[in-house]
A and B are shown apart, each in its own frame.
Chain A
């Protein structure tokens, strides 16, 4: 069971980074909306993962992306922020004691919970990402606009992917 989860996550990591770097890196609508779908890997990590491990995974996933995007540290910081939001959100909304779902997927948690979860995480990630990339407040409104459109795009793709691999369990 445990090794299966690890294998699935490793496979997912490679697949998503592959898609992100080879395909989505070249995709942009009017320079405003750029999708960062790889964060779905961080969203779908198991509930029971220790915090330190989650942070380490997020950090090194971000660093890998940075290496390909030539933006040293930007993605890493954004992914770490996402990890923090994820932990906070799960702590507030999920009761860990009598809970046996392994992963926070759409099928396990339902559309409402998952969409709110994805919205918070994506927004946090994108805000940090775009503002660190721009690194100035003079372009504040434009950066915010890019953030919003990119978040919408990313969210759309994340929820689409989740529906494609939808396997509803009896709850």
Chain B
């Protein structure tokens, strides 16, 4: 005991240092919210990281389900948004049925077959008659851009003739000046990122990077971005401009699509069928 006391006394500077430094440190951590929160956080960070690493595998396995639920939720939200946006204020007074206020509803669908290399490409999705799909409905991709039209429907599946198909034509306009045109993939085109805008009247001045959106005349709702102009100087020899478009959506990575149900489609069709065929 005496030896210990002598030892401590001999190196008293060091022991005093330990004592006072510890007091200072305790004061620092206790009386200062910043250091306290950091101290707590750093321990939490260690624990949290461990948990995170353990959960990575589990999270990955659930990814498909999560994707499905997110896509359907998106469809629901987009429908709601359209309900809010497309209210016809003139009609609003008389029409009591709130369902008829919105013309378009969205339905999410998963792509189960897709091709981009053929001349006429067809996409198959996992929705069908049971979900209310019918031939001729418009299909868009979740991010930006049009996909095509529903071609045939079975009970639970449907085929889409994608934009990369010789029969697919979409009515589009240039956002800048509302010049109307027809979007087609093009006859000698094999690039799935490019399409052609035809039948644009000659007097419009079209610049590179101009955005092309849907016009609303075909089954697509108006204003959906399709792509941007990448080449204006294509000589065809006819009275209309032909413009090369760089598409916004990537057909090679298509995973989910939205099918657009148009409430007024039947009505429009029957009305327009009464016209004499003048063309």
In residues 48-88 of chain A, which contact B (Cβ within 8 Å)?
Answer: 51-52, 55, 58-59, 62-63, 66, 71-74, 76-78, 80-81, 83-84, 87-88
Task: Check B31–A83 contact: CB distance below 8 A.
Answer: no
Task: Check A135–B21 contact: CB distance below 8 A.
Answer: no
Task: Check A73–B13 contact: CB distance below 8 A.
Answer: no
Query: How far does the Cβ of B192 sit from chain A's closest Cβ, in whole Å?
Result: 45
Task: Check A76–B42 contact: CB distance below 8 A.
Answer: no
Alpha-carbon distance between A59 and B16 when the two chains are bound, in angstroms:
11
Is B23 an interface residue, CB under 8 A from the partner? yes
Q: A135-B35, A136-B38, A136-B42 are in contact. Are A55 and B24 (CB under 8 A)?
A: no
Closest partner residue, chain A, to B22 (CB atom): A77
Task: Check A73–B31 contact: CB distance below 8 A.
Answer: yes
Q: A135-B34, A135-B38 are in contact. Are A84 and B13 (CB under 8 A)?
A: yes
Closest partner residue, chain A, to B14 (CB atom): A84
Task: Check B24–A62 contact: CB distance below 8 A.
Answer: yes
Is A132 an interface residue, CB under 8 A from the partner? yes
Closest partner residue, chain A, to B24 (CB atom): A77
Q: A76-B23, A77-B21, A80-B21 are in contact. Are A52 and B28 (CB under 8 A)?
A: no
Task: Check B12–A51 contact: CB distance below 8 A.
Answer: yes
The size of the chain A interface, using a CB distance under 8 A, is 25
Closest partner residue, chain B, to A72 (CB atom): B31
Task: Check B13–A51 contact: CB distance below 8 A.
Answer: yes
Q: A72-B32, A73-B31 are in contact. Are A80 and B13 (CB under 8 A)?
A: no
Closest partner residue, chain A, to B41 (CB atom): A136
In residues 1-32 of chain B, which contact A (Cβ within 8 Å)?
Answer: 12-14, 16-17, 20-21, 23-32
A81-B17, A84-B16, A136-B42 known, 18 other contacts, Cβ within 8 Å: A51-B16, A52-B12, A66-B27, A72-B27, A72-B28, A72-B30, A72-B32, A73-B30, A74-B32, A76-B27, A77-B21, A78-B24, A81-B21, A83-B20, A88-B13, A132-B35, A135-B38, A136-B38
**What are 16 A-B residue pairs whose CB atoms fall within 8 Å in the complex?**
A51-B12, A51-B16, A52-B12, A52-B16, A59-B20, A71-B28, A71-B32, A72-B31, A73-B24, A73-B28, A73-B29, A73-B32, A76-B27, A135-B35, A135-B38, A136-B42
Interface residues of A, Cβ cutoff 8 Å to B = 51-52, 55, 58-59, 62-63, 66, 71-74, 76-78, 80-81, 83-84, 87-88, 91, 132, 135-136
Interface residues of B, Cβ cutoff 8 Å to A = 12-14, 16-17, 20-21, 23-32, 34-35, 38-39, 42
